[in-house]
Amino acid sequence: MSLSEWEPKYAEILKEFGYSRKKDEEAAIKLNSILKEKTPLKKLREKIRNQTVFVIGAGPSLSFSIPVLKKYKKIIKIVADGATKALIENRIQPDIVVTDLDGDIEFLKKASARNAIMIVHAHGDNQKKLELAADFDNCIGTTEGKPFGKVYNFGGFTDGDRCLFLARHFNAKKIILFGMEFGTKIGKYSKTRIPNKSVKIKKLRRGRKLLEWIASKNNLGLYTTSKPIKGFQKIDFAKLEEIIAS
């Protein structure tokens, strides 16, 4: 996905939610100054390119997915923010964590200490939290606006859909979703605090639209074990082995 393709989607998001492009840019500048050094994208490319990856969200079905995820230790796991806690509590190591720092900071730090690549997102509402990125090794910054310095733009809006955009950007062979629901029920790991549930649901709805948009461009190799998503092949856990091996 090119930046020219992403920009109209970003403009829609700014308009829909009343966000400030200027504040997003200020957050990106701050994050760029905080990051210790430029983590080579080669690390991400080597983990993702031509691989089957699990994209793991913090939706309501995550708890049911844990026993299954435990069986696949060698599959690369790209984990959305709050889901990090669920995995680490169950002795499952995230390989890549995508976060805007709304999740449990203790478990984000644990993931980093265990060599996860941390993808920290800067936006206008999380500037005060960005200092936490200094505590992470192997940290890469992202923005929804123009990339520069140590801050990239792989596309995406919510932590969950940014995981998929990341996997797509680095050419994963197959992407299988877990705990990725975009309905009105919020998963218990989704966020440490939800001040406005209606806004959260609205964000999830936008995240779903973005996944459907990506799938409309090329839906080869896209699967979900969660609720059906247009463009993704719905599979149950019993089919996993077959999909991975094919």
pLDDT at position 186: 63
pLDDT at position 97: 98
pLDDT at position 212: 97
pLDDT at position 184: 59
pLDDT at position 36: 84
CATH of the domain at 148: 3.90.1480
Give pTM, 2 decimals: 0.94
Domain holding 226, by residue range, is 3-245
Tell me the pLDDT tens digit for each residue of 3-26. Answer: 899 999 999 999 999 999 999 999
Low-confidence ranges of the chain (pLDDT < 70): 183-195
CA-based torsion, 47, 178, 146, 193: positive or negative: negative
Q: How far is CA 134 from CA 112, 139, 185, 242, in A?
A: 11, 8, 33, 41
Residue type, 194: I
Into how many domains does the chain fold?
1
Tell me the pLDDT tens digit for each residue of 213-237. Answer: 999 998 899 999 998 999 999 999 9
Tell me which residue has tokens 């991975």: 244
Which residues, in sequence order, are bridge partners of residue 176? 54, 223
pLDDT at position 192: 47
